Each structure stands twice: as C-alpha cells, then as structure tokens.
Amino acid sequence: MRIFENSNYGFIASRKKGYIFSGILILISLISFAVNGLELGIDFKGGREFVVETTNPLDATLVRSALASVLTSDPEVKTYRVDGVDQLLVRTVGDEDIDVVRDQLIRGIAAAFPGSEPVIEKTYVVSARFAKDLERGAIYSVIGSLLVIFVYILIRFEWRFGVGAVGALFHDVIITLGVFSLLQGVIGFSLQIDQTIIAAFLTIVGYSLNDTVVVFDRIREYTGLFKSESYDSILNRSINNTLSRTIITSGTTLLVVGVLFIFGGEVLRGFAFALLIGIGIGTYSSIFVASPIVLELRNRATKR
Amino acid sequence: MQGNGFKIFLAVFFLVLSGYYLYPSAQNYFIKQDLSSLDSEEAATYKRENFAKIRSVEEKALKLGLDLLGGMHVTLEVRVESLIRELASDTDDVFNDILRTATAQVETGDESIIDLFVQEFERRDPNARLSRYFRNESAGIKRSSSNEEVAAYLRTEANEAVTRAISIIRDRVDRYGVTEPSIQQQGTRRVIVELPGIDDPDRIRGLLKGTARLEFRLMVDPADNVRTLQRVIEFYETGVDSTASASDSTASASDSTLVAAADTTLDINDLLNTTEKKSGNALLDVMQPLGQGVTFGRVAEQDTAKVNQLMSDPRVTALFPRGVKYMYTSSPVGNTAEGREVYDLLGVRNEIELTGDVITDARVDFEQFSNTPEVTMTMNSEGSRTWARLTGANVGSNVAIVLDGVVYSYPNVLQRITGGRSNITNLANQAEAQDIVTVLKSGALPAPVEIVEESTVGPSLGAASIRAGLYSVMIGLLIVALFMIAYYRTSGIVADLALILNLVFIIGILAGFNATLTLPGIAGIVLTIGMAVDANVLIFERVREEQSTGKTLKASMEGGYSKALSAIFDSNITTFFVGVILYSFGIGPIQGFAVTLMAGILSSMFTAIVFTRIIMDYVVVEKKKTVSFG
C-alpha cells in the first residue's frame, strides 16, 4: 500500500492560505483566552478533589446543593460511570482540616441520598503554597524545553530553522490551548490545566518538533543536492518527499492516542485530548508553518 | 553478515539484561497468583516459610505507582517559622511582626524563610542584632554574635529539624505497620511519604502531622472563668461587629463596655437558660455558655472556626484572666439536637508544667470498670518529682493533659501522685490509644509539620486504572501492528517484532532503573507504541525511495538505513530532552511519564536502527530472499 507516493503538492506556493488559516485559529484562540481564560486545575490553584463511589447513580446538581449546605464553600460536582461503578468528582476550596471535609462529604451525601453508600476512593489535596511551587516547576519546564530545543536546532541547523521550529511550536501550543479554552465546560470531561496537561503539552512540543526536524533534515540534504533549484522548490520537494512519513507517523500516533482517549479512563482523558489536538495541529504546522517561516526569513535576507 | 556480529551481540545483551531485570517481576506475579489461590492459613504459612524470597522478589520487581496500587502519597512541610519562634526568647511585637512579614513573603516566593527573616530584620534596623533573640550558650550564640552567625545557627537547626522529623515520621510509620513505606526528603523543608495500600487515611494523617507535644498544664480558676465568660458575652452582647477591623472599632468597643457595665444586671443563669438561638449575640449564636468550673462553653463541631475567630479578637483576649488561654476537648462531649458533635472549651494556663520529654514509656491499657481504652504513661525520675510536687500543691484543682493543642483529660487531683504515672483517657477507641502510644514513643516532632499535598487512591480505583492502562496498551499495539503489516507487508512484520521487543526493553529499563510505573507512565508507553514505529517508517520510506530509483534491494536497504539516520537522530533527541526536563521539574506521576518517554525513545531508536537491520540483513543477505517494503 502506498499513499502520497511521488506526491507533488504546491505547499509552498499555497503557503499564504496556510498563513490565513493559522492566523484565524490563533486569533480565535487569543480571543478565547481573553474571554474564557483557562481553567487551572488544583495542581496550580490549590484545593481539594475527591472521587466518591456510590452504589447508585446520583444527580450532580442535587449532590451539589446537598453538599453546599454542609461544606463551607460551594463545591463543583461531576458524575460519571466507570467500569459499571458510579462515581462523583467533587472539588472544593478552603483550608479546613481535610479529615473534617471528608467526614462532611460522606455524611452529607449519605444523608441526602439514603442507600447511596458513598465511599471516598480518591483524595487529592494541594495547598496554595505547594500549588505555587508546582506552577513554578511547570513554567520552568516549559521555558527550559523551548530553550533547549532552540539551542539544539541552532547547533544542528542554521538559525532560520530554529526560528521556524520554535514558531511552529508556539503555533501548536497556542492553538491547542485555545481549543482547551473554547471547549472548557462545554465538553463532557475536565479540561483543567494541571500537571498531566503540562506533560501533554511538552510532549506535543517534542512531537511537533520531531515532525518539523524530519522536513528540515530533508531540506538540508536537498540544498546540497539540488544546487540549481530555487529554494522554494527545494522546500516543496522536501515537504512532499517526507509527506508519506509525516502522515503515517502522525496516523499511528493519533491512533494510539485515540485509543488512550477512549479506553484510558477518566484520569487520562484530558491528557489524551490535548495530544489528539496537539499532534493534529503539529502535523499541519510542520508542513504549513515551519518551512514557510524558514523561506520568508531567507527571502527577506536575499531581498536586502 | 560481516560486521553484524557486534549488533547481534548488543541486541542479545540487552534482551538478556531486560530478562534479568524482569524476572523478579514475573516471579512476583506468580507468587501473588499462587497466594491468591491458597486459603488464608496456607497463605500465611507460605509467606512465613518464603519470607526472604518474597521480600527480595518484591524489592526487585517493577514497582507500581500509588495511583495504580492504591495508597497514600503525602508531601509534608516542616514549619520553619514555628521553629524560629521557638528558638527565640524574649520575643516582642517587632519580632512577631518581622516573622509574620517573612512568612507572608514565603507564600509567594521561593526564598528560604530564614533568609527572608534575616533580610526583613536588617531592613528595619540595619544596626540591630538578631542575637538578642537567639542567645544560646550551648550553640555558641552570644550577645556579640553577628547576624550571619545567627542565620547559620538557624539554618543548622532547621536542617536538623527536618532530619529529625524524617526519622520520627519513619519511626511512627514503622510502628503503625505499613509494608514498603517510602520516606524521602525533597528540597530543604519537605518530606515525601508514600504508603502503599492504606485503608485508613484519616488515622495516618493524624500520625504524620501530630507534633506529639504532650503538656501538663494547670487550669483556670473557676471564679475567674465565670467572670471572663460574663465579660466576653457582654462584649458581644452590644452587637459589636466582629468582622470590623480592630483599629476603627476600638472606640466604639470601649463605649459599649461602658454601657454594658452601667447596666450590669446581666445574669449568667439567664444566659444559660437562653435555649433560643439567634440571640443577636455573636458569641452566643455559636457557643452555649457554661461557666462551670474550668469549662467556658460548649461549641458544635462546625462552629469551632467561628468561635476561634471571636475568641482571638485582641479586645476579647484582653478580658481573659492573666496567663490563661482556651482550648477544646479532644473528643466530643455530646451532641446537639441536630446530631452535631459538641466540644467543651476549657480555660488552661499558658505555663507548661511538664512536657512529654519526661515520658519514658507508654502503653495501651483498659480502664478497670468500664473497659474503655486509655494510655498509661511512665515518667523518668525528674518528671516524677515535678509531677508529685505539682499534684501535691494542687489537690482539689484540675490538671489538663494536653496533646497537640487539645485537652484529652483534665482530672481533678485527689492526692499527691508519686511514682510518675499518668493516664490519657477519654479516647474514642483502641486505635486512637494505639496511635497516641505510637507518637509518644517516637518522640515529639522538633517543629510542626503541615500536609501541603496529599493524594490518596483507593485500591479499587487503582485496579480500574491498571485495567484501563492495559487495555489501552493492548488495543494500541494491535492497531499499530496491523497497520504496519497492511502498509509495509513483510518489513511491517519486522517492524512489529521490533515494537514488541521495544515494550520488553521499556519495561526492562523501568525495572532495571528501579523506576515506578504510574498511570501517566502507562500513557507514555501507549504513546511510545505509536511513535516508536516512526524510526522504522523513516527507514522504510527511504528504502522505497531508493528502490524507486532502480537500485537493488540490498543497495536500497543500505541507502535507506544510512540516510534515515540523521533524521531519526535529530527528531528523537529533542523529544528526549523534553523528557529530561519533565523529569527534573515534575513530581510523582509525571516523572513516571517522563521516564517511560525517555526509555521509549532510546529503545525505539535501538530496535529500529539495530534490531530490524539484523533481521533484514539475515533475510536478504544470508537467505537471499526478498523483503517487501509494501
């Protein structure tokens, strides 16, 4: 089986369309940041999260109002069913003693829904100060990753490629974050930004780069090989000749991430979702963003 | 096949190495299987007979994270500011204010509290000497000691406090009896405690953060107590807004006291009979006044925070008898009509007569008549003497036995007690008695610790995560493997073999490096399955390109493998860097993800470049057969 065998699409010629498409997506993302913002998970905000198992399905709104009267703060309640077990996800803020809160939670649910036999299966508590540290760690790892990647590309390729690669990375991360910002609360699972999501984002960064570098590697090779050809056509040839690989690797990766999204359970759903979006966008950007940036930078240099 | 000898050696070597590291995991699995098929008595015998073997297998086997196994992950932080406060003597308002400012700054920055404290102190008065608060002959801090010397002394004390806290917590955990606990220091002030398979997190939480400060205190004079109660009620009677800031309402407060004093017919018994709540009195709304003996009032569980706030108002504390503060009882004294538990608020003296340092032994006992559990403590000779003197001088009064800020019991002294014995009574159950014995025997923590992060997962949720992870790995593997065969035919089969070998290597690397498999780690493995074929895809696509130029199969393979190398290398190494960074900054589960990501990259590069080449060369060069690249 062969796909994109000897493909010869005019990617470079139609790069303007790519710019417009990317521009619109980035604009929507930025507007969404300004309007919706991003919802931080308790990793970075501090708070408590409980997973409560019950013997029968409960209504989230009713649980919420039942708990609001026993807890000191209004909790956030979600219900779902995993492996035939009904579960509640309860998030609260505050600094009361955790034993007291757990106790209030169990008694509150048991009193409001007799026979539901609530059991706390998971407790996750992050103090505000610890959340600050986690946030700092996340920021450091994001900045660190971008820096290391940029330096590596600089060493292995010329600087224009570094700019192209990092530009594509920002493109991917902004749009994926934009999707998170747009869909939060709309979609049936949590899109809060927590540590796992940061890990997903850095993986997207790594992956997007992986794709980009393969194209760059080909450009480097062809620049030496086809000296008489214009830079435009070298770029286009490189993208086309690596297209089949790009699509197949993205395909297999998207397949497994899709599997993770469907079968990986509630904990990994947001993570898998970020990867699905990010890898999709990353594949697009390695074709339509990274190499065109290199071309624009080079054109500007020759014009001068 | 010449030149492939080294590659074959490497492949076999890594395979054997993985096998070596994975063997204990397999053994562990089969032992667990065997055990679950035996009944409990046989299992116990089996465990006894093979204790050493089981132990060593468990230690070497691949460890599962607490998110999969179920258990408790707690990050504790030693409160250094409390330590500073305790090391200081002759503290004044300036000191308290500086410490408060420094503590607030710590919340937002990542500098050490000691540095901030010293900075803040020097900022206020560059010429002042910290030594005036921290004079300590044995530590060599004299009046003339420089601020740097004091800071160094504080730092040493803080480090020592953390080290001691770790050993005390380890002792407590061991006494409680957790299998394979892990207790590690993180950074300078934090301790990570990991306890697999915990079924009673409430108890553990108490054990971990209980400072185990045992104190014997004298209590408030009953007459003073009633008078104070009356005054505090009067203070709130006139409807002083308790939330108003102290500065602007001081005037009105003094006015209101005057008014109340003029109309002093307010009788305590009237107040006691006021069963109707919502009296308009901020204090009486949340507390039932008692004023009997040393008891100030009775507070329902959910109102304690409110009462604490009312009772900590500086204008209210000024009404307290000199040297007295109020503490709650450890266990509820009854229930409200709505079934809420209520606690007594008791007046105790600030001065600590005797501390837990004098306790040499503690054990769980049962009270002779009621058979309720209690803790019997034995004191050393110095403690016994003080205890005898204390009880002798206070026959007829109450002595409060305080543990970690709450009053366990406050017996009325009937006679002078010699022999250094004392009891802690009013315990909820035997478990609580056992826990108190545990903390008393392990010793008091040098400084209070706070739980800053906790993640507790129940065993059934963990099992569900393992199932979800395993399904994802298997389904992902199947889909990718089928795709590769469909797309690349024979060479797809070779790539699939490499993929399976990859999984063995990844898990082997995890076991070999003693890493822990977490749920994000499993996600990393699933992701690796999708990305691992990339190197092979790069090679195979190159081979196809070479073939299309009319080269022979052998030459195309040669060209494909060598030309794809730089792209494979460049694209993988950057993702590897991301893994390294994630590992350095992430905690717990994220590190698990980073480790599998890195392991996956290394092993996929190896299998794609070396392993598939060996197979291809064998088939094409040795057997002279063709390999289809689809």
Using the predicted structure, report yes or no on whether residue B265 has a pLDDT greater than 60: no
Nearest to A149 among B534, B566, B577 (CB): B577
List the 196-215 stretch of B: residues with Cβ below 8 A of A. 201-202, 205-206
Report how far residue B71's alpha carbon sits from residue A263's, in angstroms, rounded to the nearest whole number: 23
Query: Does B75-209 carry CATH code 3.40.50.1820?
Result: no
- Section B532-560 average pLDDT: 89
Segment B369-395 mean pLDDT: 89
Q: Which chain B residue lies closest to A122 (C-alpha atoms)?
A: B457
**Measured CA distances, A298 to A9, A235, A304 (Å):** 21, 12, 10
pLDDT of B588: 64
Q: How confident is the model at residue B250 (pLDDT cuts 50, 70, 90)?
A: very low
pLDDT band at B267 (very low <50, low <70, confident <90, very high): very low
Burial of B67 (0-12, 13-18, 19+ CB in 10 A): buried
> Is some CB atom of chain A closer than 8 A to the CB atom of B572?
yes
Residues of each domain in chain A carrying CATH 3.30.70.3400: 47-126
Q: Do B476 and A249 touch (CB under 8 A)?
A: no
Residue B3 has pLDDT above 70, yes or no: no
CATH of region A15-41+130-303: 1.20.1640.10
| Least confident window among A153-167, A178-192, B161-175, B240-254 | B240-254
ipTM for the complex?
0.89
pLDDT-derived band at B82, boundaries 50, 70, 90? confident
- Distance between B432 CA and the closest CA of chain A, angstroms: 15
Structure-token match 């003339």, residue found: B144
B365: how many CB neighbours lie within 10 A of its CB?
15
Please report which confidence band the pLDDT of residue B255 belongs to, taking 50, 70 and 90 as the band edges. very low
Beta bridge partner(s), residue B334: B342
Query: CATH 1.20.1640.10 occupies which residues in chain A?
Result: 15-41+130-303
Q: How far apart are CA A146 and CA A152, in angstroms?
A: 10
Q: What is the CA radius of gyration of chain A?
A: 24
Residue with tokens 């330096």: A151
Does the structure show a pLDDT above 50 at B613?
yes
Provide Rg for chain B, Cα atoms: 34
* pLDDT reported for residue B147: 86
Question: Residue B261: pLDDT band by 50, 70, 90 thresholds?
Answer: very low
Question: How far apart are the C-alpha atoms of A29 and A23, rounded to whole Å?
Answer: 10
Q: Which pLDDT score, from 0 to 100, does residue A85 have?
A: 81
Cite the residue boundaries of each domain of chain B with CATH code 3.30.70.3400. 75-209
Residues B458, A137: C-beta atoms closer than 8 Å:
no
With 0-12 / 13-18 / 19 or more C-beta atoms within 10 angstroms meaning exposed / middle / buried, residue B555 is middle
B549 Cβ under 8 Å from any chain A Cβ: no
Q: What do you get for the CA distance between the two ends of chain B, in Å?
A: 24
Give the CATH superfamily of B5-61+459-622.
Answer: Multidrug efflux transporter AcrB transmembrane domain (1.20.1640.10)
Q: Which of A130-139, B133-142, B553-562, B589-598 has the lowest mean pLDDT?
A: B133-142
The CB density around residue A90, as the number of other CB atoms within 10 Å, is 24
Residues in A touching B530 (Cβ below 8 Å): 252-257
Placement of tokens 């406090």 in the chain: B161
Residues 6+ apart with CB under 8 A from B121: B98, B128, B130, B147
The pLDDT of residue B279 is 60
Distance from A239 to chain B by nearest Cα, in Å?
A: 13
Q: What is the DSSP letter of B609?
A: I
Q: B78 — contact with chain A (CB < 8 Å)?
A: no
Q: What is the pLDDT of residues A100-135, one digit of tens each?
A: 788 888 888 888 888 888 888 889 999 888 888 888
Residue B350 identity: N
The predicted-structure confidence for A6-64, as pLDDT tens digits, reads as follows: 778 888 888 999 999 999 999 999 999 999 988 888 888 888 999 998 888 888 888 88
pLDDT value of position B485:
93
Q: What is the pLDDT of residue B461?
A: 85
- The DSSP call for residue B412 is B
Q: Kindly report the average pLDDT of chain B as a whole number.
A: 83
pLDDT band at B501 (very low <50, low <70, confident <90, very high): very high
For residue B190, the SS3 value is strand
- Closest Cα to residue B557, out of B538, B544, B541, B543? B543
What pLDDT does residue B415 have? 85
**How does pLDDT run across B384-397, given as a tens digit for each residue?**
999 999 999 998 88
Phi-psi region of B306 (alpha: psi -120 to 50; beta: other; left: phi over 0): alpha
pLDDT-based confidence at residue B239 (cuts at 50, 70, 90): low
Residue of B nearest to A218 (CA): B567
* CB-CB neighbors (< 8 A) of A69 in chain B: none
- What percent of chain B shows pLDDT beyond 90? 16
Distance CA A207, CA A291 (A): 16
Q: Which of A56-65, A210-219, B138-147, B240-249 has the lowest mean pLDDT?
A: B240-249
CB contact (8 A) between residue B586 and residue A251 = no
> In the prediction, which pLDDT does B108 show?
64
Q: Examine the pLDDT at B127 and tell me if it is beyond 90.
A: no
The residues that bridge with B1 in the sheet, in sequence order, are none
Q: Is the pLDDT of residue B516 over 70?
A: yes
Between A35-39, A290-294, B257-261, B284-288, the lowest mean confidence (pLDDT) is in: B257-261
State how far the Cα of B410 lies from the Cα of B346, in Å rounded to an integer. 9
Which residue on chain B is closest to A204 by alpha carbon? B575
Instruction: Say whether pLDDT at B432 is over 90.
Output: no
d(CA B605, CA B602): 5
Phi, psi of B473 (to 5 degrees): -60, -50
Give the contacts of B101 (CB within 8 A, at least 6 positions apart).
Answer: B120
pLDDT of residue A261: 94
Domain A47-126 sits in CATH at 3.30.70.3400
Optimal mutation site among A88, A142, A267, A286, interface B, most CBs of chain B within 10 A: A267
Question: Three-state secondary structure along B360-397?
Answer: EEEEEEECCCCCCEEEEEEECHHHHHHHHHHHHHCCCC
Segment B312-322 mean pLDDT = 87
Query: What one-character DSSP code corresponds to residue A193?
Result: B
Identify the residue with better confidence: B538 or B245: B538
Please identify which residue in the block is written with the tokens 């291809």.
B616
Where in chain B do CATH 1.20.1640.10 domains reside?
5-61+459-622
Contact call for B108 and A264, based on CB within 8 A: no
Q: For residue B264, is pLDDT > 60?
A: no
Alpha-helical segments (H) within chain A: 15-35, 42-45, 60-70, 98-112, 128-156, 159-183, 195-225, 231-263, 266-285, 291-303
